[in-house]
Structure 1
Amino acid sequence: MDRQQLADFLRTRRDAITPEGVGLPSGQRRRTPGLRRQEVAQLAGISVEYYIRLEQARGPKPSRQVLGALARALVLDHDERAHLFHLVDELPEADSGREVPQAVRNLLAGLDDFPAYAMDTCYDMIAWNDKAERLMGYLSALSAPQRNILRTNFSGDGVAERLADPSIRRFLADSVSDLRASYARNPGDRKLKALVEELLRTSPEFGELWADHRVAVRTAQRKRVVHPEVGPLEFDCQVLDVPGTGLRLVVYVPQPDSPTAAAFRRLSRVTSATPAPPV
């Protein structure tokens, strides 16, 4: 922990914020260009004495809860928040990914030829384009918990049958390995921890794969699925990180002029589809 760097960072961020920016009256007799120390302490829900010690580079190491409170009080952006955590040798809080940048939504909408969706570290599908809706058949009709790829594939009927398919088992095994890597990178992510605990409690199949301790960040892979409307499909599944968001774009790309490419074109004309687990 670099106490002096932390002190300097807190002081400069405090000076950069106006009272009006955090809903406080500006007053007529302010001697500081930004917030007062007591105002930051009040906004963060900590004692003034404790905050003063931090700015004087002599305080104890803040907890993750205090760091989060300070980040909110100082209105830190994503990069500043991560820097605050790094200054005290902590991994930043994981971004839930629930706020999908408009640029990402525009990109998804513009991918007319390919099914694509955005997912967070917990494998929640939180935004998708029309082609993905038609390929998967039911995304808009489901609640957010039901759009979790791992929960859907490891629960309910048919888990054993899905895992008996080599292609699906490889995909799920790779996804669990990727989830384990995310779990290690984001130790403070309560949502991620809750998902793992839920799957360990409800799915022996997930528990078996989790117990392997295999770690691998998910990247591009070849997929084969059978769609109830257009039949067998084979495509490259590209996984693209969206920096600063905690999101990844998953894009299904068929070979040009392949039967799958023709099937994707037919999907554009399909008005309804039979529900199937997300892939």
Structure 2
Amino acid sequence: MADNALGRFLRARREATTPPDQHRRRTPGLRRGELADRAGISVEYLTRLERGTDRSPSGQVLTSLAEALDLTANERVHLYRLIKADQTCTPPAPPRLRPAVLKMLAALEPHAACVLSPASDVLACTQGFRAICGLGDEQNLVRFAFSSGALAHYPDWEQIANDRAASLRAAADLGDHTASALAFELSITAGPTFTTRYDAASALPPTTGTERWGPHLLVFETLYVPGEGELRVVIYFSQH
């Protein structure tokens, strides 16, 4: 990441935020103390972030700052990218699926079916799944559920959002690093829409049930793939 890009972005957004008593200001925007109060952090910590002496804020801090600065969805994504660009770790490669698993998936055509990682990355799927899932270029069910297109695609979005957040929470609690990283990402990009559901998740997500995708009412069943990785196959059948 360019030197202190995160700090410059936070300061620029602070100075562009209209203060409550703007007619009595010599300088534009919020003072550090005002932003710190809004975000529930100390002035000293905000100063370290803006100066670049602290470059590892938690997801909770970033979410609070995003809310305090009234960031748009695009600005939240940019904020996350600034953090991600400063990380040097390489994400793990997706697991290779056994040929037998891929043959099983092919045999399920024309039904909608997919193989999911613990973090709900779509590792492989049928053409039937691709035709109705609505994901487009997105490859993760949880990230899509909290994207701008999800509300239009899922008539029962509240149910879907709760279940997807619970699924991610379960994977993260079991130590899946990809799930934890995605939870951190969504805490910034989706904010409380995601975090309230993620924090409140107190039960495992359903392994069977119904979901509506656009005009399709689907019954789904979950099968776990033996071996390492805790992969699962989810099969969707149209309910008439």
TM-score of the aligned structures, taking structure 2 as reference length = 0.55
Name the residue aligned to 2:207.
219
Name the residue aligned to 1:242.
225
Considering only aligned residues, what root-mean-square deviation do their CA atoms show, in Å? 2.5
Name the residue aligned to 1:198.
185
Gaps of 5+ in 1: 1-94, 227-231, 259-279
- One-letter identity of the residue aligned with 1:169: E
Question: Is residue 127 of structure 2 the alignment partner of residue 130 of structure 1?
Answer: yes
> How far 1:116 sits from its partner (Å)?
0.6
Tell me, in whole angstroms, the C-alpha distance in 1 between the residues paired with 2:153 and 2:127: 28
Indicate which of 74, 95, 98 corresponds to 2:95: 98
Q: Is residue 117–residue 125 contact of structure 1 (8 Å, CA) maintained in 2?
A: yes
Tell me, in whole angstroms, the C-alpha distance in 2 between the residues paired with 1:211 and 1:163: 24
- Structure 1 ranges of 4+ moved more than 6 A: none
Name the residue aligned to 1:175.
164
Tell me, in whole angstroms, the C-alpha distance in 2 between the residues paired with 1:149 and 1:218: 15
* 1:179-223 residue CA offsets vs partner (Å, 9 max, x unmatched): 21222222xx32222111111111121111112142314311111
- One-letter identity of the residue aligned with 1:177: A
Tell me, in whole angstroms, the C-alpha distance in 1 between the residues paired with 2:172 and 2:182: 10
Identity percentage of aligned residues:
25
Tell me, in whole angstroms, the C-alpha distance in 2 between the residues paired with 1:208 and 1:177: 11
Query: Which secondary structure state, in structure 2, belongs to the residue aligned with residue 199 of structure 1?
Result: helix
Query: Which secondary structure state, in structure 2, belongs to the residue aligned with residue 251 of structure 1?
Result: strand
Tell me, in whole angstroms, the C-alpha distance in 2 between the residues paired with 1:132 and 1:233: 12
Question: Is residue 194 of structure 2 the alignment partner of residue 210 of structure 1?
Answer: no
Tell me, in whole angstroms, the C-alpha distance in 2 between the residues paired with 1:185 and 1:106: 29
- One-letter identity of the residue aligned with 2:117: D
Trace 1:62-211 onto structure 2 (pairs within 5 A): 98-136=95-133, 142=137, 146-155=138-147, 157-158=148-149, 161=151, 165=155, 167-186=156-175, 189-204=176-191, 205-211=193-199
Larger gyration radius, structure 1 or structure 2:
1
The number of equivalent residue pairs is 147
* 1:5-39 residue CA offsets vs partner (Å, 9 max, x unmatched): xxxxxxxxxxxxxxxxxxxxxxxxxxxxxxxxxxx
Trace 1:37-56 onto structure 2 (pairs within 5 A): none
